[in-house]
Amino acid sequence: MKPKKDVTIYDIAQRLSISSTTVSRALKDHPAINKNTKKKIQEAAKELGYRHNNFASSLRKQTSNTIGILVHELNSNFITSVLAGVEKITTEAGYDLLIAHSSESFEKEAANALNLFHKRVDGLIASLSFDTKNLNHFLPFEEKGIPMIFFDRVEENADSSKVIIDNYKCGYQATEHLIQQGCKKIVLVTANLNRNVYAQRYKGYADALFDNGIKPDKDLVLIKDLSEQCGVEAALQILKMKPMPDGAFITNDFSAAVCMQTLKEYGVRIPEDIAIVGFNNDAISKIVEPKLTTIHYPGMDMGEIAARNLINHLKGISNIKHTQKIVVRSELIIRGSSLKKKK
């Protein structure tokens, strides 16, 4: 079947015997066009199957009214909440979103960045993959003056605008809490230490141990991918340690929940035998038994802040280059999984 020819404002104007200028203004809800005329034009447009040509409009204005988002994964509660925050702000401002994810691959991240560049996004919000080592693949955006803001996983030493939490402080707080509960052998389950978030959480963990007279032990640092399988593997490794650790800081709630469940299946009591702290404050932290002590990581807030700063830059209200780093609040939420010392 041969596709129908696109309906234009001229077709609507001909149908109603009015000028194309009137049609154009009515479809843009211009106040100079009276309500009855607008209604007739909108009804005719719907009947004829008219579609607004965003592409042509973008070419004329040299803008796409689209924000690109590049994330390292999509199947996490944290990223979902960040995207919800971004969508809330961009929708209010009249921008569409174009989302791509790297699946933790630098090569895919670089390819997606180039694709978003060629899609002519007006701005970019990005969180880096595990193995991204520099921002060279974002140079086309910089050279074209397309604003970028990075969140969560960032290059901390790069001259770029970023929205983060204090990962060092979070790592320190989580570890110190376990020490205050009487833990002396604390295992850390985390991800690639080349990435800023995990490197800083590790540094906080190590410094909290040192400050409390506990010598850090590299054998107690388990580098994983923070997946479901990671939680099982971490539990099995913990069970083989002699003596078994009495505390665990696991930098992902889902992995922590799976680890807890696996340990319980082997008869380990939580928190009596091993106290556990997670990270993110995902919904699962309130469902597992005992409920999981965790670091609250406000993804919604992070998404809103990143999007608002980018939109304000695009509208000329502010300049993100003048805001190099925004640190979003975070906090330790204490629940049953870590309370060896009952109140």
Tell me whether residue 6 is in a domain: yes
Tell me whether residue 307 is in a domain: yes
Whether pLDDT at 2 is above 70? no
10 Å CB burial of residue 294 (0-12, 13-18, 19+) is: buried
Each residue's pLDDT tens digit, 35-84: 888 888 888 888 888 776 655 555 455 567 899 999 998 888 899 999 99
Tell me whether residue 343 is in a domain: no
pLDDT value at residue 342: 66
Tell me whether residue 259 is in a domain: yes
Asked if 271 and 180 sit in the same domain, the reply is yes
Asked if 255 and 187 sit in the same domain, the reply is yes
Each residue's pLDDT tens digit, 297-327: 999 999 999 999 999 999 888 887 766 889 9
CATH code at position 29: 1.10.260.40
Question: How, if at all, do strands 221-223 and 186-190 pair?
Answer: parallel
Tell me whether residue 341 is in a domain: no
The mean pLDDT of 115-144, rounded to a whole number, is: 91
CATH code at position 253: 3.40.50.2300
**Cα 118 from Cα 113, distance rounded (Å):** 9
Tell me whether residue 315 is in a domain: yes
pLDDT value at residue 321: 73
Asked if 193 and 111 sit in the same domain, the reply is no
Find the helix packing angle between 299-314 and 77-92, rounded to 10°.
30
**Cα 188 from Cα 172, distance rounded (Å):** 12
**Cα 148 from Cα 202, distance rounded (Å):** 28
Whether pLDDT at 117 is above 80? yes
**Cα 165 from Cα 153, distance rounded (Å):** 10
Asked if 305 and 160 sit in the same domain, the reply is yes
Whether the Cβ atoms of residue 328 and residue 168 lie closer than 8 Å to each other:
no
* HSE-CB of 118 using CA atoms within 13 angstroms: 6
DSSP 329: P
- Nearest C-alpha neighbor of 252 from the set 229, 271, 218, 274: 229
Asked if 5 and 77 sit in the same domain, the reply is no
Give long-range contacts, CB 8 A cutoff, 24+ apart: 261-268. 261/231, 261/288, 262/231, 262/232, 262/235, 262/236, 263/235, 263/238, 263/239, 266/235, 266/239, 268/239, 268/244
Asked if 288 and 310 sit in the same domain, the reply is no
**Cα 316 from Cα 258, distance rounded (Å):** 47
Each residue's pLDDT tens digit, 153-178: 999 888 889 999 999 999 999 999 99
Range of the domain at 90: 63-164+299-329
Tell me whether residue 339 is in a domain: no
The answer for residues whose C-beta is within 8 angstroms of residue 300's C-beta and 6 or more apart is 81, 82, 84, 85
Instruction: Please tell me whether residue 106 adopts helix, strand or coil conformation.
Output: helix
Instruction: Please tell me whether residue 250 adopts helix, strand or coil conformation.
Output: strand
Count how many domains the chain has: 3
pLDDT value at residue 53: 63
Asked if 160 and 174 sit in the same domain, the reply is no
Asked if 285 and 219 sit in the same domain, the reply is yes
